[in-house]
Amino acid sequence: MWAKSTSGFKLIVVVFSLLGVCVLYYISLVITPPFVSLDEVALYEGTIIRTRGVITELSVTESGNVLIKLAGNQTELPLFFDSPTARQELSNLSYGDEIEVEGKVQVYRGAYELVASENGIKMVTRERDTAFVSQIAVQPEAYKGRKIRVVGYAKDVYTHVFYLCDETGSYRLRVRVMDANSSISTLQEGDKILAEGVFSYDAQNMRYELNLVSFEAL
C-alpha cells in the first residue's frame, strides 16, 4: 500500500513538473519583444524591442563599452553594450554584417539609441572578413600576417603614409603604401574608406601597420 502511494506521488510530481515547463515555454513565447523596423524605433521609447540592420560603425570606448551603428530603411541607430563580456562577444562582428538585436529604446543626448540586452545579438548574414580599427587595436596579434580589410576614417594623409582612425578618434592605425606606382592623392582628410592590405609588425619601429594593397571610398 505504501509503495503504491509513493509511486503515485512521484507520478504527480513528474506531471506537474512537465506542466510547469510547458507553461514557462508558453510565457516565453508570449512575452517575446516585438520586432520593430529601424525607422519606427522612436515610437517605442522605454520599451524592449527587437530590430534588424547592417553594421556601419563599431568602436570600443576607453571604459570598455562597445558602440555600434546599425543602418537600414534610410535610418541609423546607435547600439550601446555595457556588458563586461560584450567586447569579447562582439569581436567577431564585421562591417556589413546584418544582425538582429534585442534591447531597450532610450534617449541619450537628444537622440534615440538601443541599449542591447546581454546575449541579445543574432547574426542574419555575414560579410567577408572586414574589421574596424578599434577591433584591431584590442587584439592586434590576431590579425598579424593576415590580408585583411579595415574600415576607418583617413587622417594625416601624406604621400606614402596615412592613418586610419575609428569614428571617435580614439584609435589610429598606420597605413603604408608599398607600391611606388600606387597613389593616394585622391584621399582626403576625414574620408571614410575600406582599406585592404597585409597587417604586419614593424619590429624596427616597434609598431603594427597595414601594408596597403587597395582602398575604396564608402
Where along the chain do its domains lie?
Answer: 38-125, 130-217
pLDDT of 103 over the 60 cut: yes
pLDDT of 48 over the 70 cut: yes
Same fold, 38-125 and 130-217: yes
pLDDT of 77 over the 70 cut: yes
CATH assignment of 130-217?
A: 2.40.50.140
- Residues of the chain with pLDDT > 90, as a percent, come to 48
pLDDT band at 2 (very low <50, low <70, confident <90, very high): very low
Q: Is the pTM of this model over 0.85?
A: no
Q: Does residue 195 sit in helix, strand or coil?
A: strand
Residue 29 φ/ψ, nearest 5 degrees: -70, -40
Kindly state the average pLDDT of the residues 49-72: 87
pLDDT of 162 over the 60 cut: yes
How many CB atoms sit inside 10 A of residue 118's CB?
14
Architecture of domain 38-125: Beta Barrel (2.40)
Closest CA to 212 of 176, 169, 183: 176
What nine digits make up the cell of 163?
592613418
Whole-number mean pLDDT of the chain?
84
pLDDT of 10 over the 80 cut: no
Diameter over CA atoms, the chain: 95
pLDDT of 5 over the 90 cut: no
